[in-house]
Amino acid sequence: MPDVTVTTLQEMKQKGDKITMLTAYDATFARAACQAGVEVLLVGDSLGMVVQGNDSTLPVTVQEMAYHTACVKRGNQGALLVTDLPFESGASAQQLHADAVAVMKAGAHMVKLEGGAWLAEPIARLAQIGVPVCAHLGLTPQAVNLFGGYKVQGRGDAQARQLRADAIALEQAGAAMLLLECVPSELAAEISQAVKIPVIGIGAGAATDGQVLVVHDMLGLSLTGRVPKFVKNFMEGQGSVQGAFEAYVKAVKDGSFPAAEHGFSA
């Protein structure tokens, strides 16, 4: 059992204490993040891009997610460990069940699924067998081909209404946490107020209950040279990776990150 649990995060939301999350793909970085005070480690399918060098997350397999989850588990020191279920997991109910079980057995404490209200039934089924789910709304990278690129989601009244409705539906279905990616800051604030579960943001402004960044991004590492607007390089002014992790935690906790320039307008 981790020191940080779903209950811990719910209590942090109620108290207004900001939650910190970072991606991790190996034992060394997992341990360093934990030592800096990061509450949640995300084994993201972003490993397909930052570790494997692919141009999207789509090629990642559940076997690879389970492998990296096991690696992170060995370095984890009490954080809640969340693992993405890859693109192929949504093929069927049986596939989703099998993939969730695989990463949980590898060491995950929660799985993350990308999608809207249509995920309500799968989330409810997973909750019934003891698998907590973080629902991922907004820019969902597995749907990049449908979106026509990596674009802000939730702009315009219709999209905003849909995202609010999706968030509420997924909470009612049993989602334990919500992640909002590349959503206008004002909308993200409204959704964070509308649901009781913790809401983690990336490119979603400062009013969410916590923040997440891809570890390579916040260390100033990029294969492509393209840096998303919502990223801050925490290695600047630091003498070590450990110092960068500590600076990230401090900035999220004191509210200085994300600043206005890291967010998006409606």
Is-contact 27 72, C-beta < 8 A?
yes
- Cα dist from 80 to 2, 20, 88, 191, 223, whole Å: 6, 11, 24, 23, 28
With a CB cutoff of 8 Å and minimum separation 6, the contacts of 223 are: 49, 50, 53
CA atoms of 47 and 53, how far apart (whole Å): 8
The catalytic position among 39, 181, 236, 261 is: 181
Residue 255 CA from chain centroid, whole number: 19
Q: Is 3 annotated as contributing to ligand binding?
A: no
Question: Does residue 181 have an active-site annotation?
Answer: yes
Give the span between the Cα atoms of 198 and 191, in whole angstroms: 10
Tokens 């890291």 belong to which residue?
Answer: 262
232: annotated binding-site residue?
A: no
92 marked among binding-site residues: no
At residue 218, φ and ψ (nearest 5 deg) are -75, -10
Do residues 138 and 164 lie in contact, with contact meaning Cβ atoms separated by under 8 Å? no
Q: How many CA atoms are closer than 13 Å to the CA of 125, on its beta-carbon side?
A: 14
Which stretches of the chain are assigned E, i.e. beta strand? 19-23, 40-43, 80-84, 110-114, 133-138, 177-181, 199-202, 210-213
- Quick count: other Cβ atoms within 10 Å of Cβ 144? 16
Does residue 254 have a known ligand-binding role?
A: no
- Annotated binding-site residues for Mg(2+) read 45, 84, 114
Please identify every residue annotated as catalytic: 181
Annotated binding-site members: 45-46, 84, 112, 114
